[in-house]
Amino acid sequence: MTRCAWAEGSEEMGAYHDVEWGFPVVDDRRLFEKFSLEGFQSGLSWRTILAKRPAFRKAFDDFDVEAIARYTDDDVARLLGDAGIVRHRGKIEAVINNSARAIELVEEAGSIAAFVWGYEPDPATGSRPPYDEITNEWLGLATTSPESVALSKDLRKRGWRFVGPTTAYAFMQAMGLVNDHAPGCPQREEVEAARTALRRP
């Protein structure tokens, strides 16, 4: 059995695949971090963002929404001058905006986790494309789902930015709301066991 083909490109991607990707997450800080980093990934590769993740965590106060919500124009200038991260004004300002929206969401729903896990698809009704046993890849794997479209729409209605349906689906894959490890991947069963044992918020 081999891991998902996309994880074979580097040691860092392999480690991320083996211990993080798809395992269910209910910690609000990690969920907000993932939304933020997926926004930065737009137009780039996840490998690039993963390599910069330590720098992102340092630059954004470890994705503490309360701290980020207090950022000023001076912080935007600081971040635009930080060569360790992706220096894109729109994406930086989106994280700051989204931190305030996240605080509002927690006041409404109790936690970010409680809100996003409400969009978990029903595994019994979900469909998957054909699977190639030679390459250990899904054929034509979807980049969105009805649930990711709905999650994106709901977040954008609440004022979040850089949370389109594709970003929302990548978030759902990574945070364990769906198990998109390939059938031949040993992590698929581990992720499913973790999802089964998870106490949903």
Domain boundaries, the chain: 5-197
CA distance 189 to 179: 9
Looking at every residue in the chain, the average pLDDT score rounds to: 91
- Using 50, 70 and 90 to split pLDDT, how confident is the model at 198? very high
Q: Dump pLDDT digits (tens) for 150-197.
A: 999 999 999 999 999 999 999 999 999 999 898 889 999 999 999 999
Share of the chain above pLDDT 70, in %: 90
- Using 50, 70 and 90 to split pLDDT, how confident is the model at 127? very low
Annotated active-site residue 131? The verdict is no
Catalytic residue among 21, 33, 38, 71: 38
Residue in the block written with tokens 């993963």 = 50
Whole-number Cα distances in Å, 98 to 82, 156, 160, 176? 20, 10, 5, 21
- Using 50, 70 and 90 to split pLDDT, how confident is the model at 125? low
Residue 132 dihedral angles phi and psi, to the nearest 5°? -100, 110
Residue 8, pLDDT above cutoff 90:
no
Annotated active-site residue 160? The verdict is no
Catalytic residue among 6, 46, 93, 137: 46
Catalytic residue among 6, 11, 12, 16: 16
Annotated active-site residue 117? The verdict is no
Dihedral, CA atoms, 172, 175, 181, 187, nearest 10 degrees?
-170
Distance of alpha carbon 180 from the chain centroid: 13
Residue 138 dihedral angles phi and psi, to the nearest 5°? -70, 145
The residues with which 131 forms a beta bridge, in sequence order, are: 138
Asked if residue 12 lies in contact with residue 51, where contact means CB atoms within 8 angstroms, the answer is: yes
Q: Dump pLDDT digits (tens) for 56-91.
A: 999 999 999 999 999 999 999 999 999 999 999 999
CATH homologous superfamily of 5-197 equals: Hypothetical protein; domain 2 (1.10.340.30)
Cβ neighbours of residue 52 closer than 8 Å, sequence gap 6 or more: 84, 85, 86
Helices (H) and strands (E) in the chain — how many of each?
Answer: 10, 2
Per-residue pLDDT, 133: 55
